[in-house]
A and B are shown apart, each in its own frame.
Chain A
């Protein structure tokens, strides 16, 4: 069964390009995008995901809140946090709340993919 990946960011150019990249990848991933924390929780409630990659700062529910909700309600779903507001505090906060990886935007696609492959195989 294809691994399910949810990409959450209000920056649609980013979600669009990541989507385009993953659907062309030789890996058989099922990729879904969401433009807000609310939308992400809705997608999660419809069908479980193996991995959620989320931005932190979005209007409405933040990526950290999404992370907390996932850790509580979907323990099998891994989370990667990405943010343009890179700082040690954000990293520590994300990791302590159970994110698997923390990555600063803009990132390198190769690096990003290797993190995804590491978690999804």
Chain B
């Protein structure tokens, strides 16, 4: 389209020059001829201005749309990239013109396949999800759609239009929701089962204890019965943890200083850190608003993350906690200012294929773990309006970030 526009513009300019020259040399008696040319000239100029307007309008749309738009020729060479796409990829138009579209896909081979399907099979992708790669090598989850760019005259495909959106935020929210749904379903099931088990357990325990009453304390039968009771208590403890997971108590929310809570957890864990040769570092934001949370529930969450961090570092290492404020974080109720608490360790890290599974109830990598720590934490955070995210690199460490909405009404800053 821009080529066509250029041609017309050049034509109009040439004409304009020509008429200016004519104007300079014109003779008074040539008036009728002149007026004929003049009206044609004015008509052309008018048409040109109209075209320019339409062009600006379309260009404005393409450049200001929030989706990335890239066009390629039929070989996949990039012919155009709009502003949003330049922002997403970090490339300038000139850097990338002529480059093959497949190089923008995290897996270029996959990009080539997509392109082939479009060209050879006439396939049109609709919100197809994939990973793209920026100039800096950052992977971005994106959804893209394709269509043909048709030659205006013969209506033959002349190129391909890729329209795509960065879906990091959408993905994040979707993942959190899926996680919650999974937890809620599993929570209900496990709570139901746990309750059903607790009833017969009560019968067994009472029977055992009544039986125990009939033996003298030194009797081996009495010892056997007390073992039965001990095992019942152990099972019951486990069941109680399920309840906690399925139905955390209603949070008693108050304005709390999150850093005090972190300090409290640190004091509790300090002897264990020392024993394991783990150092502790904090970097607290100086302008931290107080959070509207249930202090003891959030303490449990942070303690959980601490314990996981310690257990990921059998050879020692570092735990780093920092707090900061982010302008925007997307919660279910919408995007708003949030406090982020990041708990990072230098432990063994979590393999990428397990990074979502760790939030599932009963998923554990510890030989003596039940696999409820993170799922309970997720539930507790949910009750308190918070969210949790993880980043991890195998062999390097993990970082858990918890987000809390900043409640506007609390204007009292701590420092």
Interface residues of A, Cβ cutoff 8 Å to B: 11-14, 16-18, 20-21, 24, 82, 84-88, 105-110, 112
A109 to B226, CA, bound (A): 12
Residue of A12, A20, A24 with highest tally of chain B CB at under 10 A = A20
A92 to B249, CA, bound (A): 13
Residue of B nearest to A12 (CB): B203
A84 touches B209 (CB 8 A): no
B residues within 8 A CB of A17?
203, 206-207, 209-210
- How distant is B296 from chain A, measured CB to nearest CB, in Å? 13
- How distant is B205 from chain A, measured CB to nearest CB, in Å? 4
B198 touches A88 (CB 8 A): no
A residues within 8 A CB of B205?
106-108
- How distant is A9 from chain B, measured CB to nearest CB, in Å? 9
Please tell me if B318 contacts chain A, counting CB pairs below 8 Å: no
B residues within 8 A CB of A16?
207
A11 touches B209 (CB 8 A): no
- How distant is A94 from chain B, measured CB to nearest CB, in Å? 16
A residues within 8 A CB of B233?
106
Contact residues of B between 199 and 253, Cβ < 8 Å to A: 199-207, 209-210, 213-214, 232-233, 236, 240, 243, 247, 249-250
Please tell me if B179 contacts chain A, counting CB pairs below 8 Å: no
- How distant is B240 from chain A, measured CB to nearest CB, in Å? 8
A-B contact pairs, 16 of them (CB 8 A): A11-B199, A11-B203, A13-B200, A13-B206, A20-B210, A21-B206, A21-B209, A84-B195, A84-B198, A84-B201, A84-B202, A105-B199, A106-B201, A107-B205, A108-B205, A110-B209
Residue of A nearest to B207 (CB): A17
A11: which of B195, B200, B236, B249 is its contact (CB, 8 Å)?
Answer: B200
B202 touches A106 (CB 8 A): yes
A residues within 8 A CB of B236?
106
A13 touches B247 (CB 8 A): no
B residues within 8 A CB of A84?
195, 198-199, 201-202
9 closest Cβ contacts across the A-B interface?
Answer: A13-B203, A105-B202, A84-B198, A106-B202, A109-B209, A106-B205, A17-B207, A14-B203, A17-B206
* Chain A-chain B contacts (Cβ-Cβ < 8 Å), number: 68
Residue of A nearest to B235 (CB): A106
B203 touches A85 (CB 8 A): no
Interface of B (DSSP majority class): helix
- How distant is B383 from chain A, measured CB to nearest CB, in Å? 14
B residues within 8 A CB of A87?
243, 247, 249
A18 to B203, CA, bound (A): 9
Residue of A nearest to B213 (CB): A21
A106 to B198, CA, bound (A): 7
- How distant is B309 from chain A, measured CB to nearest CB, in Å? 31
A77 to B202, CA, bound (A): 25
**A17-B203, A18-B210 known; 12 other A-B pairs, CB under 8 Å?**
A13-B200, A17-B206, A17-B207, A84-B198, A84-B199, A86-B240, A87-B243, A88-B249, A88-B250, A106-B233, A106-B236, A109-B206
A109 to B206, CA, bound (A): 6
A109: which of B204, B210, B250 is its contact (CB, 8 Å)?
Answer: B210
Residue of A nearest to B236 (CB): A106
A45 to B345, CA, bound (A): 66
B202: which of A11, A21, A110 is its contact (CB, 8 Å)?
Answer: A11
A86 touches B209 (CB 8 A): no
A16 to B210, CA, bound (A): 10
User: Given A84-B199, A84-B202, is A108 in contact with B210 using a C-beta cutoff of 8 Å?
Assistant: no
Residue of B nearest to A21 (CB): B210
A14 touches B206 (CB 8 A): yes
- How distant is B7 from chain A, measured CB to nearest CB, in Å? 77
B residues within 8 A CB of A11?
199-200, 202-203
Residue of B nearest to A89 (CB): B250
A13: which of B195, B207, B243 is its contact (CB, 8 Å)?
Answer: B207
A105 touches B209 (CB 8 A): no
A24 to B204, CA, bound (A): 18
A21 to B199, CA, bound (A): 18
A82 to B207, CA, bound (A): 16
User: Given A24-B213, A88-B249, is A13 in contact with B204 using a C-beta cutoff of 8 Å?
Assistant: yes
- How distant is B247 from chain A, measured CB to nearest CB, in Å? 7
B207 touches A106 (CB 8 A): no
A49 to B210, CA, bound (A): 23
Residue of B204, B206, B210, B247 with highest tally of chain A CB at under 10 A = B206
B243: which of A20, A24, A86, A110 is its contact (CB, 8 Å)?
Answer: A86
Residue of A nearest to B208 (CB): A17
A88 to B248, CA, bound (A): 10
A85 to B200, CA, bound (A): 13
